[in-house]
Structure 1
Protein backbone atom coordinates (compact mmCIF):
# COMPACT_ATOMS: atom_id res chain seq x y z
CA UNK A 1 0.00 0.00 0.00
CA UNK A 2 1.40 3.34 -1.00
CA UNK A 3 2.62 6.06 1.33
CA UNK A 4 1.29 9.57 0.98
CA UNK A 5 2.26 12.84 2.60
CA UNK A 6 -0.12 14.90 4.71
CA UNK A 7 -1.09 17.90 2.54
CA UNK A 8 -0.68 20.42 5.38
CA UNK A 9 1.76 18.55 7.62
CA UNK A 10 4.25 16.90 5.24
CA UNK A 11 6.27 15.43 8.10
CA UNK A 12 3.37 13.06 8.73
CA UNK A 13 3.11 10.02 6.52
CA UNK A 14 -0.30 8.50 5.87
CA UNK A 15 -0.68 4.81 5.14
CA UNK A 16 -3.92 3.23 4.05
CA UNK A 17 -6.95 3.89 1.90
CA UNK A 18 -9.13 6.97 1.96
CA UNK A 19 -11.68 5.66 -0.56
CA UNK A 20 -13.06 2.23 -1.42
CA UNK A 21 -15.96 1.12 -3.57
CA UNK A 22 -18.21 3.72 -5.17
CA UNK A 23 -20.64 5.03 -2.59
CA UNK A 24 -24.32 4.26 -2.94
CA UNK A 25 -26.57 7.29 -3.61
CA UNK A 26 -27.91 7.17 -0.04
CA UNK A 27 -24.38 7.16 1.39
CA UNK A 28 -23.42 10.13 -0.76
CA UNK A 29 -26.51 11.88 0.57
CA UNK A 30 -25.45 11.23 4.16
CA UNK A 31 -22.05 12.79 3.49
CA UNK A 32 -23.53 15.85 1.79
CA UNK A 33 -26.34 16.44 4.26
CA UNK A 34 -25.08 15.25 7.64
CA UNK A 35 -21.30 15.27 7.92
CA UNK A 36 -20.66 19.01 8.27
CA UNK A 37 -23.13 19.33 11.14
CA UNK A 38 -21.40 16.50 13.00
CA UNK A 39 -17.90 17.96 12.81
CA UNK A 40 -16.27 18.43 16.22
CA UNK A 41 -15.07 21.85 15.13
CA UNK A 42 -12.09 23.36 13.30
CA UNK A 43 -9.83 20.30 13.27
CA UNK A 44 -8.34 20.35 9.78
CA UNK A 45 -5.25 22.37 8.96
CA UNK A 46 -6.93 24.38 6.20
CA UNK A 47 -9.57 25.78 8.59
CA UNK A 48 -7.42 25.83 11.75
CA UNK A 49 -3.80 26.39 10.70
CA UNK A 50 -2.94 27.79 14.13
CA UNK A 51 -4.12 24.51 15.73
CA UNK A 52 -6.36 26.34 18.19
CA UNK A 53 -7.74 24.03 20.85
CA UNK A 54 -11.32 22.79 20.57
CA UNK A 55 -13.85 23.99 23.13
CA UNK A 56 -14.86 20.54 24.31
CA UNK A 57 -17.05 21.93 27.08
CA UNK A 58 -19.24 23.64 24.50
CA UNK A 59 -19.08 20.71 22.08
CA UNK A 60 -21.13 18.32 24.22
CA UNK A 61 -22.58 20.65 26.83
CA UNK A 62 -20.02 19.69 29.45
CA UNK A 63 -20.53 15.94 29.09
CA UNK A 64 -17.61 13.56 29.51
CA UNK A 65 -15.60 13.12 26.31
CA UNK A 66 -14.77 9.74 24.77
CA UNK A 67 -12.74 9.04 21.64
CA UNK A 68 -12.84 6.16 19.15
CA UNK A 69 -9.77 5.88 16.93
CA UNK A 70 -10.57 4.29 13.56
CA UNK A 71 -14.25 3.41 13.96
CA UNK A 72 -14.55 1.24 10.85
CA UNK A 73 -18.23 0.97 10.02
CA UNK A 74 -19.26 2.71 13.24
CA UNK A 75 -21.37 -0.01 14.82
CA UNK A 76 -19.46 -0.01 18.12
CA UNK A 77 -19.52 3.78 18.43
CA UNK A 78 -23.25 4.04 17.78
CA UNK A 79 -23.85 1.33 20.38
CA UNK A 80 -21.74 3.21 22.93
CA UNK A 81 -23.51 6.49 22.16
CA UNK A 82 -26.93 4.88 22.62
CA UNK A 83 -25.86 3.03 25.78
CA UNK A 84 -24.14 6.03 27.36
CA UNK A 85 -26.27 9.00 26.40
CA UNK A 86 -24.62 11.06 29.14
CA UNK A 87 -21.26 11.19 27.32
CA UNK A 88 -20.07 12.71 24.05
CA UNK A 89 -18.03 10.63 21.59
CA UNK A 90 -15.73 11.81 18.83
CA UNK A 91 -14.83 9.25 16.20
CA UNK A 92 -11.88 9.50 13.82
CA UNK A 93 -11.80 7.60 10.53
CA UNK A 94 -10.00 8.60 7.32
CA UNK A 95 -11.75 5.92 5.20
CA UNK A 96 -14.66 7.81 3.70
CA UNK A 97 -16.72 4.67 3.03
CA UNK A 98 -16.68 3.93 6.76
CA UNK A 99 -17.73 7.49 7.51
CA UNK A 100 -20.70 7.13 5.16
CA UNK A 101 -21.69 3.86 6.85
CA UNK A 102 -21.55 5.50 10.27
CA UNK A 103 -23.72 8.40 9.14
CA UNK A 104 -26.40 5.96 8.05
CA UNK A 105 -26.27 4.21 11.42
CA UNK A 106 -26.54 7.54 13.24
CA UNK A 107 -29.70 8.38 11.30
CA UNK A 108 -31.19 4.98 12.07
CA UNK A 109 -30.33 5.03 15.79
CA UNK A 110 -31.17 8.73 16.21
CA UNK A 111 -28.24 9.33 18.54
CA UNK A 112 -27.12 12.93 18.99
CA UNK A 113 -23.96 12.58 21.06
CA UNK A 114 -21.48 11.69 18.27
CA UNK A 115 -19.12 13.95 16.37
CA UNK A 116 -16.97 12.82 13.44
CA UNK A 117 -13.49 13.75 12.26
CA UNK A 118 -13.15 12.14 8.81
CA UNK A 119 -9.37 12.18 8.81
CA UNK A 120 -6.13 11.47 10.62
CA UNK A 121 -6.45 11.22 14.40
CA UNK A 122 -3.12 13.03 14.78
CA UNK A 123 -4.79 16.20 13.49
CA UNK A 124 -7.43 15.85 16.20
CA UNK A 125 -4.78 15.24 18.86
CA UNK A 126 -3.28 18.61 17.88
CA UNK A 127 -6.44 20.47 18.88
CA UNK A 128 -7.79 18.44 21.80
CA UNK A 129 -7.02 20.12 25.12
CA UNK A 130 -4.67 18.39 27.51
CA UNK A 131 -6.38 15.87 29.84
CA UNK A 132 -9.76 16.20 28.12
CA UNK A 133 -10.55 12.59 27.13
CA UNK A 134 -11.99 10.20 29.72
CA UNK A 135 -12.04 7.05 27.58
CA UNK A 136 -10.45 6.02 24.27
CA UNK A 137 -11.04 2.99 22.05
CA UNK A 138 -8.68 1.33 19.57
CA UNK A 139 -10.61 -1.62 18.15
CA UNK A 140 -9.18 -4.04 15.62
CA UNK A 141 -6.69 -1.53 14.18
CA UNK A 142 -4.87 -2.26 10.95
CA UNK A 143 -2.34 -4.93 12.00
CA UNK A 144 0.30 -4.11 9.38
CA UNK A 145 1.51 -7.72 9.66
CA UNK A 146 4.86 -7.39 7.87
CA UNK A 147 7.67 -6.65 10.31
CA UNK A 148 8.98 -3.74 8.25
CA UNK A 149 5.54 -2.10 8.55
CA UNK A 150 5.19 -2.36 12.34
CA UNK A 151 6.17 1.31 12.68
CA UNK A 152 2.90 2.13 10.90
CA UNK A 153 0.83 0.66 13.74
CA UNK A 154 -1.02 2.96 16.11
CA UNK A 155 0.83 1.61 19.15
CA UNK A 156 3.99 3.59 18.41
CA UNK A 157 5.37 6.74 20.05
CA UNK A 158 4.03 9.02 17.30
CA UNK A 159 0.48 8.19 18.38
CA UNK A 160 0.81 7.15 22.01
CA UNK A 161 2.56 10.31 23.18
CA UNK A 162 -0.26 12.65 22.05
CA UNK A 163 -2.89 10.14 23.22
CA UNK A 164 -1.37 10.25 26.69
CA UNK A 165 -1.38 14.05 26.60
CA UNK A 166 -5.11 14.31 25.85
CA UNK A 167 -6.26 11.62 28.29
CA UNK A 168 -7.15 12.52 31.85
CA UNK A 169 -5.41 10.90 34.81
CA UNK A 170 -7.38 7.74 35.51
CA UNK A 171 -8.80 7.66 31.97
CA UNK A 172 -9.35 4.30 30.29
CA UNK A 173 -7.75 3.15 27.04
CA UNK A 174 -9.28 0.03 25.49
CA UNK A 175 -7.55 -2.02 22.78
CA UNK A 176 -9.11 -5.01 21.02
CA UNK A 177 -7.18 -7.09 18.51
CA UNK A 178 -6.99 -10.65 17.22
CA UNK A 179 -3.32 -10.39 16.22
CA UNK A 180 -0.91 -11.87 18.83
CA UNK A 181 2.01 -9.74 17.71
CA UNK A 182 -0.13 -6.61 18.00
CA UNK A 183 -0.87 -7.66 21.58
CA UNK A 184 2.86 -8.00 22.18
CA UNK A 185 3.67 -4.57 20.79
CA UNK A 186 0.76 -2.99 22.65
CA UNK A 187 1.88 -4.41 25.98
CA UNK A 188 5.45 -3.31 25.31
CA UNK A 189 4.72 0.21 24.11
CA UNK A 190 1.62 1.55 25.85
CA UNK A 191 2.99 1.38 29.44
CA UNK A 192 5.98 3.47 28.34
CA UNK A 193 3.67 6.46 27.88
CA UNK A 194 2.08 6.69 31.30
CA UNK A 195 -0.48 3.87 31.14
CA UNK A 196 -0.82 0.80 33.32
CA UNK A 197 -2.35 -2.48 32.18
CA UNK A 198 -5.22 -3.26 34.55
CA UNK A 199 -5.44 -7.04 34.03
CA UNK A 200 -5.38 -9.17 37.17
CA UNK A 201 -6.58 -12.51 35.77
CA UNK A 202 -6.80 -14.24 32.41
CA UNK A 203 -10.48 -13.37 31.97
CA UNK A 204 -9.52 -9.68 31.94
CA UNK A 205 -8.00 -10.02 28.47
CA UNK A 206 -10.00 -13.01 27.21
CA UNK A 207 -13.48 -11.68 27.88
CA UNK A 208 -14.90 -8.46 26.40
CA UNK A 209 -16.09 -5.47 28.39
CA UNK A 210 -19.63 -5.43 29.81
CA UNK A 211 -20.78 -2.82 27.27
CA UNK A 212 -18.95 -4.39 24.33
CA UNK A 213 -20.52 -4.53 20.87
CA UNK A 214 -18.80 -7.00 18.56
CA UNK A 215 -17.64 -5.34 15.34
CA UNK A 216 -17.67 -6.73 11.82
CA UNK A 217 -13.90 -7.13 12.08
CA UNK A 218 -14.23 -9.25 15.19
CA UNK A 219 -16.88 -11.42 13.57
CA UNK A 220 -14.56 -12.02 10.63
CA UNK A 221 -11.73 -12.93 13.01
CA UNK A 222 -13.93 -15.42 14.84
CA UNK A 223 -15.07 -17.01 11.57
CA UNK A 224 -11.44 -17.43 10.57
CA UNK A 225 -10.47 -18.97 13.91
CA UNK A 226 -8.52 -16.08 15.40
CA UNK A 227 -8.79 -15.28 19.11
CA UNK A 228 -9.76 -11.77 20.26
CA UNK A 229 -7.81 -10.08 23.03
CA UNK A 230 -9.26 -7.24 25.11
CA UNK A 231 -6.67 -5.03 26.77
CA UNK A 232 -7.56 -2.28 29.24
CA UNK A 233 -5.11 0.41 30.31
CA UNK A 234 -5.46 3.25 32.79
CA UNK A 235 -3.77 6.61 32.36
CA UNK A 236 -1.64 7.23 35.41
Structure 2
Protein backbone atom coordinates (compact mmCIF):
# COMPACT_ATOMS: atom_id res chain seq x y z
CA UNK A 1 0.00 0.00 0.00
CA UNK A 2 1.46 3.39 -0.97
CA UNK A 3 2.35 6.02 1.62
CA UNK A 4 -0.32 8.45 0.49
CA UNK A 5 -3.14 5.98 1.13
CA UNK A 6 -3.70 7.25 4.69
CA UNK A 7 -3.43 10.76 6.11
CA UNK A 8 -0.71 11.15 8.68
CA UNK A 9 -2.30 12.46 11.85
CA UNK A 10 -1.42 15.91 13.16
CA UNK A 11 0.25 16.02 16.57
CA UNK A 12 -2.12 16.51 19.52
CA UNK A 13 -3.13 20.10 20.20
CA UNK A 14 -2.39 21.42 16.72
CA UNK A 15 -5.94 22.48 15.82
CA UNK A 16 -6.47 26.22 16.12
CA UNK A 17 -2.79 27.05 16.67
CA UNK A 18 -0.67 29.33 14.49
CA UNK A 19 1.63 27.01 12.58
CA UNK A 20 3.89 28.32 9.81
CA UNK A 21 6.52 25.96 8.46
CA UNK A 22 9.55 26.50 6.28
CA UNK A 23 11.71 29.60 5.97
CA UNK A 24 10.29 33.02 6.77
CA UNK A 25 13.42 35.01 5.92
CA UNK A 26 16.13 34.68 3.28
CA UNK A 27 19.00 37.01 2.42
CA UNK A 28 18.83 40.47 3.94
CA UNK A 29 16.97 42.98 1.78
CA UNK A 30 19.00 45.78 0.22
CA UNK A 31 18.79 49.12 2.08
CA UNK A 32 16.65 50.63 -0.70
CA UNK A 33 14.27 47.68 -0.80
CA UNK A 34 14.19 47.50 3.00
CA UNK A 35 13.16 51.16 3.21
CA UNK A 36 10.51 50.84 0.54
CA UNK A 37 9.22 47.62 2.03
CA UNK A 38 8.96 49.21 5.46
CA UNK A 39 7.05 52.16 4.01
CA UNK A 40 4.59 50.20 1.88
CA UNK A 41 3.89 46.99 3.79
CA UNK A 42 1.77 48.72 6.48
CA UNK A 43 -0.37 50.26 3.73
CA UNK A 44 -1.38 46.91 2.25
CA UNK A 45 -1.07 44.38 5.08
CA UNK A 46 -3.47 43.39 7.83
CA UNK A 47 -3.56 41.21 10.92
CA UNK A 48 -6.00 38.52 11.95
CA UNK A 49 -8.80 39.36 14.36
CA UNK A 50 -9.04 37.76 17.78
CA UNK A 51 -10.11 34.08 17.80
CA UNK A 52 -13.83 33.73 17.18
CA UNK A 53 -14.16 37.19 15.58
CA UNK A 54 -15.38 37.23 11.96
CA UNK A 55 -13.38 39.22 9.40
CA UNK A 56 -15.47 40.82 6.66
CA UNK A 57 -13.12 41.16 3.64
CA UNK A 58 -14.84 44.39 2.60
CA UNK A 59 -13.42 46.10 5.71
CA UNK A 60 -9.87 45.55 4.45
CA UNK A 61 -10.27 47.89 1.46
CA UNK A 62 -10.85 51.62 1.14
CA UNK A 63 -13.79 51.03 -1.21
CA UNK A 64 -16.14 48.04 -1.78
CA UNK A 65 -15.18 45.49 -4.44
CA UNK A 66 -17.41 43.40 -6.70
CA UNK A 67 -15.96 40.20 -5.24
CA UNK A 68 -13.03 38.92 -3.18
CA UNK A 69 -10.41 36.38 -4.29
CA UNK A 70 -7.95 34.72 -1.90
CA UNK A 71 -4.56 33.16 -2.72
CA UNK A 72 -2.74 31.02 -0.17
CA UNK A 73 1.05 31.00 -0.59
CA UNK A 74 1.51 33.57 -3.37
CA UNK A 75 5.30 33.07 -3.61
CA UNK A 76 6.81 36.12 -5.31
CA UNK A 77 3.32 37.49 -6.02
CA UNK A 78 3.51 37.26 -9.81
CA UNK A 79 0.25 35.35 -10.28
CA UNK A 80 -1.65 37.48 -7.76
CA UNK A 81 -0.35 40.77 -9.14
CA UNK A 82 -1.18 39.84 -12.74
CA UNK A 83 -4.74 39.00 -11.71
CA UNK A 84 -5.00 42.34 -9.91
CA UNK A 85 -3.94 44.06 -13.14
CA UNK A 86 -6.60 42.24 -15.13
CA UNK A 87 -9.36 42.69 -12.55
CA UNK A 88 -9.29 46.11 -10.85
CA UNK A 89 -12.85 45.51 -9.64
CA UNK A 90 -11.82 42.50 -7.50
CA UNK A 91 -10.36 42.68 -3.98
CA UNK A 92 -7.37 40.32 -3.68
CA UNK A 93 -6.19 38.84 -0.39
CA UNK A 94 -2.81 37.11 -0.52
CA UNK A 95 -1.19 35.04 2.22
CA UNK A 96 2.56 34.43 2.26
CA UNK A 97 4.93 34.11 5.28
CA UNK A 98 8.23 34.32 3.34
CA UNK A 99 9.56 37.86 3.61
CA UNK A 100 11.31 38.03 0.23
CA UNK A 101 8.17 36.91 -1.58
CA UNK A 102 6.11 39.51 0.27
CA UNK A 103 8.73 42.16 -0.50
CA UNK A 104 8.55 41.41 -4.23
CA UNK A 105 4.78 41.83 -4.28
CA UNK A 106 4.97 45.01 -2.20
CA UNK A 107 7.55 46.42 -4.65
CA UNK A 108 5.21 45.74 -7.55
CA UNK A 109 2.38 47.54 -5.76
CA UNK A 110 4.63 50.51 -4.95
CA UNK A 111 5.92 50.75 -8.52
CA UNK A 112 2.37 50.63 -9.90
CA UNK A 113 1.38 53.48 -7.60
CA UNK A 114 4.43 55.49 -8.69
CA UNK A 115 3.40 55.04 -12.33
CA UNK A 116 0.18 56.86 -11.49
CA UNK A 117 -2.04 53.78 -11.14
CA UNK A 118 -3.55 54.21 -7.68
CA UNK A 119 -5.82 51.18 -7.64
CA UNK A 120 -6.15 49.72 -4.18
CA UNK A 121 -7.12 46.08 -4.62
CA UNK A 122 -4.48 43.95 -2.84
CA UNK A 123 -4.17 43.09 0.85
CA UNK A 124 -1.44 40.88 2.33
CA UNK A 125 -1.37 38.59 5.35
CA UNK A 126 1.89 37.09 6.63
CA UNK A 127 0.19 34.86 9.21
CA UNK A 128 -1.27 31.33 9.19
CA UNK A 129 -3.59 30.94 6.18
CA UNK A 130 -5.73 28.34 7.94
CA UNK A 131 -6.70 30.85 10.61
CA UNK A 132 -7.78 33.34 7.94
CA UNK A 133 -10.01 30.71 6.33
CA UNK A 134 -11.63 30.13 9.72
CA UNK A 135 -12.16 33.88 10.28
CA UNK A 136 -13.81 34.78 6.96
CA UNK A 137 -17.63 34.65 6.78
CA UNK A 138 -19.66 32.15 4.79
CA UNK A 139 -19.87 32.71 1.02
CA UNK A 140 -17.47 35.68 1.16
CA UNK A 141 -14.82 34.45 -1.32
CA UNK A 142 -15.75 34.12 -4.97
CA UNK A 143 -12.49 32.44 -5.99
CA UNK A 144 -9.66 30.76 -4.10
CA UNK A 145 -6.15 29.67 -5.12
CA UNK A 146 -3.53 27.33 -3.66
CA UNK A 147 -0.82 27.00 -6.30
CA UNK A 148 2.27 24.80 -6.01
CA UNK A 149 2.27 24.57 -2.20
CA UNK A 150 5.06 22.89 -0.26
CA UNK A 151 4.51 19.12 -0.82
CA UNK A 152 5.94 18.01 2.54
CA UNK A 153 7.05 14.68 1.00
CA UNK A 154 7.90 12.81 4.22
CA UNK A 155 4.93 10.87 5.52
CA UNK A 156 5.37 12.16 9.07
CA UNK A 157 4.96 15.72 7.71
CA UNK A 158 2.00 15.16 5.38
CA UNK A 159 -0.48 16.52 7.92
CA UNK A 160 1.13 19.92 7.20
CA UNK A 161 -0.08 19.89 3.59
CA UNK A 162 -2.34 22.88 3.03
CA UNK A 163 -4.62 21.02 0.62
CA UNK A 164 -6.47 18.60 2.90
CA UNK A 165 -9.96 17.66 4.00
CA UNK A 166 -10.14 20.47 6.56
CA UNK A 167 -9.08 23.31 4.27
CA UNK A 168 -11.27 22.03 1.44
CA UNK A 169 -14.21 22.09 3.85
CA UNK A 170 -13.29 25.68 4.75
CA UNK A 171 -13.15 26.66 1.07
CA UNK A 172 -16.53 24.99 0.52
CA UNK A 173 -17.99 27.13 3.30
CA UNK A 174 -16.41 30.34 1.98
CA UNK A 175 -17.08 29.95 -1.76
CA UNK A 176 -20.70 30.41 -2.89
CA UNK A 177 -22.41 28.23 -5.49
CA UNK A 178 -20.80 28.86 -8.87
CA UNK A 179 -17.56 30.12 -7.35
CA UNK A 180 -14.25 28.44 -8.05
CA UNK A 181 -11.21 26.99 -6.28
CA UNK A 182 -7.97 26.47 -8.19
CA UNK A 183 -5.12 24.29 -6.97
CA UNK A 184 -1.94 23.14 -8.71
CA UNK A 185 1.17 21.07 -8.07
CA UNK A 186 4.07 19.57 -10.01
CA UNK A 187 4.76 16.80 -7.47
CA UNK A 188 3.29 13.39 -8.48
CA UNK A 189 2.61 12.25 -4.91
CA UNK A 190 0.87 15.52 -4.10
CA UNK A 191 -1.14 15.26 -7.33
CA UNK A 192 -2.59 11.97 -6.13
CA UNK A 193 -3.11 13.37 -2.63
CA UNK A 194 -4.90 16.47 -3.98
CA UNK A 195 -7.16 14.52 -6.29
CA UNK A 196 -8.12 12.02 -3.58
CA UNK A 197 -9.13 14.85 -1.24
CA UNK A 198 -10.86 16.83 -4.00
CA UNK A 199 -13.02 13.87 -4.98
CA UNK A 200 -13.90 13.27 -1.33
CA UNK A 201 -15.37 16.78 -0.92
CA UNK A 202 -18.91 16.53 -2.38
CA UNK A 203 -19.51 20.29 -2.47
CA UNK A 204 -16.99 20.78 -5.28
CA UNK A 205 -17.23 19.63 -8.91
CA UNK A 206 -13.93 18.93 -10.67
CA UNK A 207 -14.08 20.78 -14.00
CA UNK A 208 -12.30 18.27 -16.20
CA UNK A 209 -13.54 16.34 -19.22
CA UNK A 210 -10.18 15.17 -20.61
CA UNK A 211 -6.50 15.18 -19.63
CA UNK A 212 -5.91 18.52 -21.38
CA UNK A 213 -8.18 20.09 -18.78
CA UNK A 214 -5.67 19.44 -16.00
CA UNK A 215 -2.39 19.33 -17.95
CA UNK A 216 -2.78 22.71 -19.66
CA UNK A 217 -3.09 25.96 -17.77
CA UNK A 218 -6.26 27.88 -18.76
CA UNK A 219 -5.76 31.21 -20.54
CA UNK A 220 -7.25 33.18 -17.64
CA UNK A 221 -4.79 31.57 -15.20
CA UNK A 222 -1.54 33.62 -15.17
CA UNK A 223 1.74 31.75 -15.00
CA UNK A 224 3.78 31.80 -11.80
CA UNK A 225 7.55 31.92 -11.45
CA UNK A 226 7.61 28.57 -9.66
CA UNK A 227 5.53 26.94 -12.38
CA UNK A 228 7.95 28.15 -15.06
CA UNK A 229 10.90 26.75 -13.07
CA UNK A 230 9.13 23.42 -12.67
CA UNK A 231 8.51 23.12 -16.41
CA UNK A 232 12.12 24.10 -17.19
CA UNK A 233 13.26 21.31 -14.83
CA UNK A 234 11.13 18.76 -16.72
CA UNK A 235 8.32 18.45 -14.18
CA UNK A 236 4.66 18.40 -15.26
CA UNK A 237 2.27 20.71 -13.46
CA UNK A 238 -1.30 19.61 -12.84
CA UNK A 239 -3.99 22.31 -12.72
CA UNK A 240 -7.24 21.53 -10.93
CA UNK A 241 -10.32 23.77 -11.29
CA UNK A 242 -13.13 23.08 -8.84
CA UNK A 243 -16.57 24.66 -9.03
CA UNK A 244 -18.67 25.04 -5.93
CA UNK A 245 -22.00 23.27 -6.38
Matched, 1:52 2:53: yes
In 1, distance between residues paired with 2:235 and 2:206?
A: 22
8 Å CA contact retained: 2:136, 2:174: yes
Q: Give the 3-state SS of the residue equivalent to 1:20 in structure 2.
A: coil
Which has the larger share of strand?
1
Paired position in structure 2 for 1:100: 103
- TM-score, length-normalised on structure 2? 0.84
Paired position in structure 2 for 1:173: 181
- What's the CA shift for 1:50? 4.3
In 2, distance between residues paired with 1:226 and 1:215?
A: 14
In 2, distance between residues paired with 1:104 and 1:204?
A: 34
In 2, distance between residues paired with 1:234 and 1:203?
A: 17
Pick which of 135-144 and 191-200 moved more.
191-200
Matched, 1:235 2:238: no
- Residue pairs, 1:117-156, within 5 angstroms: 117-156=125-164
- What's the CA shift for 1:49? 2.0
CA-to-aligned-CA distance 1:203-231 (integer Å, 9 cap, x gap): 11111121222212112111211011111
Paired position in structure 1 for 2:24: 18
- TM-score, length-normalised on structure 1? 0.87
In 1, distance between residues paired with 2:158 and 2:239?
A: 20
8 Å CA contact retained: 1:78, 1:109: no
Paired position in structure 2 for 1:199: 208
8 Å CA contact retained: 1:131, 1:165: yes
CA-to-aligned-CA distance 1:105-162 (integer Å, 9 cap, x gap): 1122345211111121122113211110000111111111223322211111332222
Q: Give the 3-state SS of the residue equivalent to 2:107 in structure 1.
A: helix
In 2, distance between residues paired with 1:181 and 1:33?
A: 41
Count of aligned positions = 224
In 1, distance between residues paired with 2:52 and 2:86?
A: 32
Paired position in structure 2 for 1:216: 225
Paired position in structure 1 for 2:7: none
Q: Give the 3-state SS of the residue equivalent to 1:230 in structure 2.
A: strand
In 1, distance between residues paired with 2:57 and 2:186?
A: 33
In 2, distance between residues paired with 1:136 and 1:68?
A: 6
Paired position in structure 2 for 1:39: 45
Compute the RMSD of aligned alpha carbons: 2.0
RCO higher in 1 or 2 (8 Å CA, sep ≥ 6)?
Answer: 2
In 2, distance between residues paired with 1:65 and 1:11?
A: 25
Gaps of 5+ in 1: none
In 2, distance between residues paired with 1:74 and 1:80?
A: 10
